[in-house]
Structure 1
Amino acid sequence: MKRFAAVTLATLMLLTVFASAASAQDAVEIRGPVFNGSNIQEIVGTDGITIDATQFAAFFYDINDNVTTETLSIRNVPGNNGNVIGEGGLVYETQIQQVEYEFTGAAGWDNYSVIGFFAEKYIPLKPNSADKLAKLVLDSDDRYTIRTGETLDLGEGYALEAKQVDVEGEKVWLEFTKDGEFVDDEIISVVNENMSTWEVELDDIQDEDDVVVFRVHINQVFQGAVDSIAQIEGLWLIDYANAMTIESDDEFGELNDVSIQGDSLVIRNDDSFTLTRDSEEEIAEGMFFKIADTPTNVLRFYVMKELTDPGTYEVRGQVATGDFTWDATNFAGFFYDINDDVTTETLSVSGLEGNVIPEGGLVYNTTIQNVDFEYDEWGQYPVIGFFAEKYIPLKANSADKLAKLILDSDDRYTVRTGETLDLGEGYALEAKQVDVEGEKVWLEFTKDGEFVDDEIISVVGTGANTWEVELDDIEDEDDVVVFRVHVNQVFQGAVDSIAQIEGLWLIDYANAMTIESDDEFGELNDVSIQGDSLVIRNDDSFTLTRDSEEEIAEGMFFKIADTPSNELRYYPFVERTVGEGEEPDLEDDEPTVGENVTAPEDDENVTAPEDDENVTEPGETPAEEEPTVGETPEEEPADTPGFGVVLGLVGLLAVVYLVRRNN
């Protein structure tokens, strides 16, 4: 009995550990152009293909200076065959370039050296040598006001403190720290503009001396009866503590032939690279090829970078200099199904006169298409992209009534009776009971905790184990399929009653919408509903104002470069957020880069600098006691939230029991 109790206790403790191990993580996929052909030889051709930052939004790009540093090429080499890239055929290149500081309001703030490295922005420690790099943390012209004794959090553990202001209000004593440890300090005067910028130079950074790691410009100093204040406008910082040196024998994933050529890096594959169909093949450093599930006589793929750190990211389209048309192959924000090669959206600009799009020259078009369910036994369903979001038409051939797609999954989940599977957006599925013979399960579908529908599903008969929830009066439409679930197995054990689900599909019917011909979507306000298509134009001229972001409609923007009047450069973009973006707690009311800070004289709201790629916000904490869709990988039963607690309590009781018996 003691042996059985001990084994049971050990098992329970192991289950307790594993029950809390699974977690879900959202991500943003930024893709490059789509390549489509019968094989790699046809796609590459004799001249090869090259992707740069104007086509691949993950690569570093400065629109104002029109600066790109990175390219990824597939070359025409003898080893190319079928879906295989031969040795030396995959080439990543990056070269140091010069860009302007965000802050340009004082002497010395002109240009600095920058280099993209596998879709991240880095600074070379030596301006003309690409082998020693540090990530850029901050490049900002935002304005911050800090009082003496306050600390400005710069990100990645770096901080700036205003120690004291002199009695005449002309100088401020600043201290620069890393992880709370002193790095350097300086007294800055604002009397002479040439003395109001402080450069922190450090030695022995990857064996390099006199490396400028931080720059700050003091705009004003104020000594009042109550407060002593320093106003900062101009910040630049590199993560010198995590700088790296690249060696010729380094390997970066499949790219393992490194050539350091002064201000350039060239890295090739010295082994063949297989584009395995229906997979994601890592190239290097979080950069992948995504390859479609196609027959052997078709090859379709794109390069992509997956971003998982909480934050908001810009997903842009190809850069244009005049009239242009974007679809999902050159604008990563638009919906695209690589397996079915399905796109639905286009955005076109025509008739540009200088920087003005004439009436009717800006056209957004989207058309219903069919794609496969992720759970492939269900066949296909209609889908439509609508301003870079994936929607489902309530009627298969009519684009005027839409609901957002929440879920299309073939992942496997195990739900015990009494448990609820959180489907997202307030929708949930509960396993109410399993019959005594283990052949049926009673399921209940709810929205915001309110009953919607229920059904008893049998796994014995063919086809009886898929439940479709059809509802009436959804935007005046009846018999609308809003939810589908496939029950794979049912189990009635001595302890647990379990339903195994494989196949989920759900639309947000509660927030469905009807599009009318007189609706307006930002600057697109001439709506034409043409059966399975929507065409929306501008009925007023649209100005692409230089050095601005102009909203097109529904969270889709044009970003326009700061160029002379005889030049125009712009691209469309949408923003995607990973995590919930909660505001961090600030200790002792310390101002933080990214916090809204008000300058005394202009009441300006200051926001997080765009180039501070490493400033992140905490993600969403999953709700307790509910298994979450996406939480459990395929082939594993979903962990039961709260079950770990129960097991832990049982384990503790077992320990007490054994101790008492032994005593």
Structure 2
Amino acid sequence: MKRFAAVTLAVLMLLTVFASAASAQDAIEIRGPVFNGSNIQEIVGTDGITIDATQFAAFFYDINDNVTTETLSIINVPGNNGNVIGEGGLVYETQIQQVEYEFTDAAGWDNYSVIGFFAEKYIPLKPNSADKLAKLVLDSDDRYTIRTGETLDLGEGYAIEAKQVDVDGEKVWLEFTKDGEFVDDEIISVTDPDRSTWEVELDDIEDEDDVVVLKVHVNQVFQGAVDSIAQIEGLWLIDYANAMTIESDDEFGELNDVSIQGDRLVIRNDDTITLTRDSTKEIAEGMFFKVADTPSNVLRFYVMKEITDPGTYEVRGQVATGDFTWDATNFAGFFYDIDDDVTTETLSVTGLNGGNVIPDGGLVYQTTIQQVEYEFTDAAGWDNYSVIGFFAEKYIPLKPNSADKLAKLILDSDDRYTIRTGETLDLGEGYALEAKQVDVEGEKVWLEFTKDGEFVDDEIISVVNSSQSNWEVELDDIQDEDDVVVFRVHVNQVFQGAVDSIAQIEGLWLIDYANAMTIESDDEFGELNDVSIQGDTLVIRNDDSFTLTRDSEKEIAEGMFFKVADTPANELRYYPFVERTVGEVSEIDDEEEGPSENVTAPGEENVTAPEDENVTAPDENVTEPGETPVEEPTVGDTPEEEGGEGAPGFGVVLGLAGLLAVVYLVRRNN
């Protein structure tokens, strides 16, 4: 028994030491269409399958000009077999196109060349050659007002400073810098239309000369008794410092056969690609295939882009030109479970009849309760649970077959977490789990569940008896409902050692019961204000006509929008979208009048993080599990699988102490 205890402690401490170096970053997934079939041959067929930006929200798309540049195809090649894509069967193609500047109110601001490259927006250094590219940092028609001596932060280390304004208030001296170092300067006159736009051209950018890297239009200059002010409207900038040249022998993950054809890039796979079930397979540059956990006679997958850079991103649905219906297969914002192939939401537009006015009842949102598996499935009682998407968020019905009382799902995890007694596992949204004590036999652990530091429930859990290794917290009076399961936890192991008492948790599920809601038939959700509750289904329509105003973003309901293109009156082009935030996004100051503060940061997406996004920084003394892992936890979360959580809080020192304890126990036993 002593030797077993020593070995167990060694395993746990080594687990702690190695896991303490791990960390994870917040991310969002933007998916493409879902492909379903018995094998790759059936899915691809004789004609192959191709997705572009109208179907895959990660690809670059300009809705006003209706411009796409990228496609990803799986074509019919002899090597396609079962779940294997044959050599040359996966083809990524992108071609330079022309789009309008956001700012169009001055001469010289017409069109520029653009190309999507693995779902990022790039600018070719030569307008008709796709081999030398730089990322687009900024394309803005926002108005920024800066005083002399102040700096306008353009992003990625680039900045503009208003050095001086002339005494007549007609000219401004601007300086362009990169990482604080001088790049170029110019005196710009607002009285001369030919000199109110400044183009910065640089040489030796990937061996290219006369490359336009920055365009600035000065709208007004003012010399006052107190301040000297320049008003800028029209900014365009590329990240020339990190430009790249693509060579024919370059490799991009699985896509490693590069063909440069003037204004076009074509990249294929030189080797076979296996779509392994229950896996995420990187294709290239942050693009992946996500493959469902299905039987061998079923193949289901989609392409997706993983975004980890902090910011707020638009997740859109398929582009429409008239009546249309979206579900989770063509609107990446809607909830979708790929393993169970479960969707719950649809959004339909009918009755447009060639115009841009949706009639009464022509906009219909519907969602129905479905069943999905828990992420953790390795113990009795962890089978299925009820789920419902609600305006592109994942909710749990308080009653399994009634869609009128809902709570957000906070956590559904099969990651492994190791915590010592007295430590707290932060579950998110103020909920936490503390290991109070481990019994002397190392067979039971006393756990306490809290909300905002207040006691909710506790339980003694035994790992010897499998029927007692799960704990379900049931609460009463949750939106007038009793016996609501709000939290589930499975304890995998318990250990009472010479140094530490440890509980290992694998299996967590939690809903935000404290913020549960009841939906009434007279509720209104923006434009959707006619609510029908039909058992396990919610149907919400517009009670008034709804105009898809051109060149606008129109909120439908609950953070869901339509984006409508700037088109002639006889055309209509639009799509639904939601916003998702990665990391902490600071508020950006879009000045339209008056002097700015010390630094004004423009950007392509001048937005702040939505309040309802579950993106929080970890507390100093807790571990943060979640569907999206959080960096630098301090309580043991020991991942056992790829994509697991961060590190436990024991640290290397504790691990070494544990190993010394092992040595002591073994020697004493001998």
Select between 110-119 and 346-355 the one with higher mean Cα deviation.
346-355
Select between 167-176 and 648-657 the one with higher mean Cα deviation.
648-657
Shift of 1:462: 2.3
8 Å Cα contact 2:411-2:626 kept in structure 1: no
SS for the counterpart of 1:589 is coil
Shift of 1:52: 0.1
When residues 184 and 654 of structure 1 are mapped into structure 2, their CA distance, relative to the original with a 3 A threshold, is: farther
Select between 432-441 and 604-613 the one with higher mean Cα deviation.
604-613
Deviation by residue 1:342-398 (Cα, 9 ceiling, x = unmatched): 0000000001140000000000000000000001xx110010000000000111111
- Rounded to whole Å, the distance in 2 between the matches of 1:609 and 1:105 is 31
SS for the counterpart of 1:106 is coil
SS for the counterpart of 2:13 is helix
Match of 1:555 in 2: 559
Correspondence for 1:518 among 519, 522, 526:
522
8 Å Cα contact 1:581-1:617 kept in structure 2: no
When residues 127 and 322 of structure 1 are mapped into structure 2, their CA distance, relative to the original with a 3 A threshold, is: same
When residues 604 and 12 of structure 1 are mapped into structure 2, their CA distance, relative to the original with a 3 A threshold, is: closer
8 Å Cα contact 1:313-1:575 kept in structure 2: yes
Match of 2:666 in 1: 659
Deviation by residue 1:59-85 (Cα, 9 ceiling, x = unmatched): 000000000000000001111111011
8 Å Cα contact 1:142-1:609 kept in structure 2: no
- Rounded to whole Å, the distance in 1 between the matches of 2:351 and 2:328 is 22
8 Å Cα contact 1:123-1:135 kept in structure 2: yes
Shift of 1:634: 2.1
8 Å Cα contact 2:364-2:542 kept in structure 1: yes
Shift of 1:14: 11
SS for the counterpart of 1:652 is helix
Shift of 1:637: 14
Shift of 1:129: 0.4
8 Å Cα contact 1:139-1:609 kept in structure 2: no
Match of 2:657 in 1: 650
Shift of 1:23: 3.2
8 Å Cα contact 2:326-2:346 kept in structure 1: yes
8 Å Cα contact 2:325-2:346 kept in structure 1: yes
8 Å Cα contact 2:218-2:231 kept in structure 1: yes
8 Å Cα contact 1:579-1:618 kept in structure 2: no
Match of 1:342 in 2: 342
Deviation by residue 1:610-647 (Cα, 9 ceiling, x = unmatched): 9999999999999xx99579964226999977645986
8 Å Cα contact 1:328-1:346 kept in structure 2: yes
- Rounded to whole Å, the distance in 2 between the matches of 1:184 and 1:618 is 48
When residues 438 and 9 of structure 1 are mapped into structure 2, their CA distance, relative to the original with a 3 A threshold, is: closer
- Rounded to whole Å, the distance in 2 between the matches of 1:468 and 1:11 is 28
When residues 328 and 82 of structure 1 are mapped into structure 2, their CA distance, relative to the original with a 3 A threshold, is: same
- Rounded to whole Å, the distance in 1 between the matches of 2:488 and 2:610 is 43
8 Å Cα contact 2:145-2:593 kept in structure 1: no
8 Å Cα contact 1:67-1:99 kept in structure 2: yes
8 Å Cα contact 1:419-1:431 kept in structure 2: yes
Shift of 1:308: 1.0
8 Å Cα contact 1:412-1:636 kept in structure 2: no
8 Å Cα contact 1:140-1:609 kept in structure 2: no
Confirm whether residue 367 of structure 1 aligns to residue 368 of structure 2. Answer: yes
When residues 330 and 661 of structure 1 are mapped into structure 2, their CA distance, relative to the original with a 3 A threshold, is: closer
SS for the counterpart of 2:300 is strand
8 Å Cα contact 1:414-1:638 kept in structure 2: no
What percent identity do the matched residue pairs reach? Answer: 90
- Rounded to whole Å, the distance in 1 between the matches of 2:485 and 2:11 is 43
Shift of 1:463: 1.9
When residues 559 and 4 of structure 1 are mapped into structure 2, their CA distance, relative to the original with a 3 A threshold, is: closer
- Rounded to whole Å, the distance in 2 between the matches of 1:391 and 1:610 is 17
Shift of 1:25: 2.2
Select between 9-18 and 112-121 the one with higher mean Cα deviation.
9-18
When residues 387 and 11 of structure 1 are mapped into structure 2, their CA distance, relative to the original with a 3 A threshold, is: closer
SS for the counterpart of 1:41 is helix
Instruction: Name stretches of at least 5 consecutive residues in structure 1 with no aligned partner.
Output: none
TM-score by length of 2: 0.88
Shift of 1:660: 28
- Rounded to whole Å, the distance in 2 between the matches of 1:613 and 1:100 is 48
When residues 556 and 599 of structure 1 are mapped into structure 2, their CA distance, relative to the original with a 3 A threshold, is: closer
When residues 113 and 604 of structure 1 are mapped into structure 2, their CA distance, relative to the original with a 3 A threshold, is: closer
Shift of 1:648: 12
Deviation by residue 1:193-225 (Cα, 9 ceiling, x = unmatched): 121000000111111110000000011111112
8 Å Cα contact 2:153-2:601 kept in structure 1: no
Shift of 1:653: 16
- Rounded to whole Å, the distance in 2 between the matches of 1:60 and 1:615 is 39
Correspondence for 1:597 among 590, 596, 599:
599
Matches within 5 A, 1:98-497: 98-353=98-353, 354-375=355-376, 378-497=382-501
- Rounded to whole Å, the distance in 2 between the matches of 1:217 and 1:87 is 49
SS for the counterpart of 1:645 is helix
When residues 204 and 13 of structure 1 are mapped into structure 2, their CA distance, relative to the original with a 3 A threshold, is: farther
When residues 599 and 76 of structure 1 are mapped into structure 2, their CA distance, relative to the original with a 3 A threshold, is: closer
SS for the counterpart of 1:392 is strand
Shift of 1:578: 1.1
Deviation by residue 1:13-46 (Cα, 9 ceiling, x = unmatched): 9999868634342211000000000001110111
- Rounded to whole Å, the distance in 2 between the matches of 1:83 and 1:248 is 29
SS for the counterpart of 1:463 is helix
- Rounded to whole Å, the distance in 2 between the matches of 1:316 and 1:239 is 26
Confirm whether residue 568 of structure 1 aligns to residue 572 of structure 2. Answer: yes
When residues 176 and 494 of structure 1 are mapped into structure 2, their CA distance, relative to the original with a 3 A threshold, is: same
- Rounded to whole Å, the distance in 1 between the matches of 2:474 and 2:611 is 45
SS for the counterpart of 2:15 is helix
Shift of 1:293: 0.5
- Rounded to whole Å, the distance in 1 between the matches of 2:509 and 2:75 is 41
Shift of 1:298: 0.4
- Rounded to whole Å, the distance in 1 between the matches of 2:39 and 2:298 is 6
SS for the counterpart of 1:477 is coil
Match of 1:615 in 2: 622
Select between 607-616 and 386-395 the one with higher mean Cα deviation.
607-616
TM-score by length of 1: 0.89
When residues 629 and 485 of structure 1 are mapped into structure 2, their CA distance, relative to the original with a 3 A threshold, is: farther
Shift of 1:277: 0.5
8 Å Cα contact 1:584-1:618 kept in structure 2: no
Select between 309-318 and 8-17 the one with higher mean Cα deviation.
8-17
8 Å Cα contact 2:20-2:652 kept in structure 1: no
8 Å Cα contact 1:34-1:302 kept in structure 2: yes
8 Å Cα contact 1:580-1:620 kept in structure 2: no
SS for the counterpart of 2:248 is coil
- Rounded to whole Å, the distance in 2 between the matches of 1:387 and 1:217 is 40
Select between 582-591 and 145-154 the one with higher mean Cα deviation.
582-591
Shift of 1:585: 12
Shift of 1:580: 3.0
Match of 1:81 in 2: 81
Select between 247-256 and 650-659 the one with higher mean Cα deviation.
650-659
When residues 170 and 531 of structure 1 are mapped into structure 2, their CA distance, relative to the original with a 3 A threshold, is: same
